[in-house]
Amino acid sequence: MPLAILLLALGVRCGTVYYWQSKAEVEQRAFRLGDSHSYWILAGHIARGESYEYGSSDSKIFRAPLYPIFLAPFTLINDESLGIWVARLAGSLMGTAAVWIVFLLGWRMGGYAAGCWAGVLAAVYPGAIGMSIVILSEVIFCPLMLLNILAWQSAFASKSNSSLLRWASVAGVAAGLGILARPSWLLFAPALAALGLLFGPRRSKHLVVFLVSLATCSLAMSPWWIRNAIITGRFVPTTLQVGPSLYDGLHAGATGASDEGMSFSVEHANKLAEEDRLGNLGPESEIADGDVFEYRLNQRMTRLALEWSLENPTSVLWLAGVKLTRVWSLWPDGKEVGSTGLRLALTGACLGVLILALWASRRLATQHGWLAMVCWMPTFYFTVLHIIFVGSIRYREPAILVATVLAGCAIASILHSRREIHGS
């Protein structure tokens, strides 16, 4: 049965690759999403041994490196269209790996049947399929996120110290690689540990799991940290796009959606460059004097976003509501998803998974306690994160993928109850 589920997942994704790529070629554009181009360009620089920068030498820490590293071999294919096609097929394999981990999580939570149903849901859920075949970092982030959760649960459930250390180490490495794929994952482990220490059982065990995973996470990320420190002379934990991303969601005229062209970044970069030319370092000069341009721009945009937020708390609250609606809208607008059929599929699938997951949570919480609640953590985490930054249904899809674990348990439980009724 698990093999059939994996073949289903791979087949559906490969079929979607064919459809997606064919449509992109008809539209005569290699990528249909804005961020894809930057990942592909950076991947090409890696493959050719060139400097890891996007657009100019002032953007050396623009994107986290793991997904461009994943893409790099495909950029060496002479026919770019074919290279993108193969990259999407490789993403299908990563998406299939994510389905396998969902199956394992479901098996742990509700038994073999629950694992199978969870795997089926993950295999056919439209958002999970989409995250497998687009040229975006979710391709590798989703399996790493799921591995992080599986390993954390395994560490906490361990009966021996050696098993705890082994699984906590795996959790840390998975977390580190997940952050190097999507920097927004940076605070997940601290948030999970904080909730465990405040509300969970066996608090000392939570602390040990967190400290071990923190150590191995730091080890996994250390090459990136060292590289960034050499460039900037500063500790840069993820990228220097935190400031622009924060500003994207918090400034006069912000709508809750992302300005994909990041035109405001160009404006502020030009202004900072002009100040440099005139010798006027601006209000952040006491921390920026001597720092590289990219670092100073990040600091400036962070400061501007925070200052605007403090001056306009009502607007911040209004934007938070807008972003919350954008993330959890059950009917995506046409700008996010152009096809009415796809919007219907996403709406029905998302609503179905959430209802089933909620239905299963009470029983699972009684049986598994903290381990079951961990499956809801990405939902809360990404929701809080994206009412601060910008909102889009894209940011909820990894959380829904984790929720398929609970939904699979619900289906297995319902079917088991029906069999008992008919059997009696």
Length of the chain (residues): 424
Confidence (pLDDT) at 420: 58
Q: Does pLDDT of 286 surpass 50? A: no
Cα Rg of the chain (Å, integer): 22
Q: Does pLDDT of 414 surpass 80? A: yes
Q: In whole angstroms, what is the distance from residue 140 CA to residue 162 CA? A: 28
pLDDT by residue (tens digit) across 98-111? Answer: 999 999 999 998 89
Which candidate, 180, 179, 164, places its Cα nearest to that of 212? 164
pLDDT by residue (tens digit) across 163-197? Answer: 999 999 999 999 999 999 999 999 999 999 998 88
Which candidate, 216, 155, 188, places its Cα nearest to that of 379? 188
**3-class secondary-structure state, position 132:** helix
Which is more confident, 331 or 389?
389
Q: In whole angstroms, what is the distance from residue 289 CA to residue 282 CA? A: 10
Hey, what are 364's tokens? 């699972």
Confidence (pLDDT) at 335: 59
Confidence (pLDDT) at 282: 56
DSSP line for 346-359? HHHHHHHHHHHHHH
Confidence (pLDDT) at 415: 86
Flag the least confident range among 106-110, 204-208, 362-366, 393-397: 362-366
Q: In whole angstroms, what is the distance from residue 72 CA to residue 74 CA? A: 5
Mean pLDDT of the 64-91 span = 95
Which is more confident, 142 or 202?
142
Q: Is 161 left (phi over 0), alpha (psi -120 to 50) or beta?
A: alpha
Q: Does pLDDT of 259 surpass 90? A: no
pLDDT by residue (tens digit) across 371-382? Answer: 788 899 999 999
pLDDT band at 285 (very low <50, low <70, confident <90, very high): very low
Mean pLDDT of the 109-135 span = 94
Q: Does pLDDT of 57 surpass 80? A: yes
Query: Mean pLDDT across the chain, nearest whole number?
Result: 89
pLDDT band at 345 (very low <50, low <70, confident <90, very high): confident
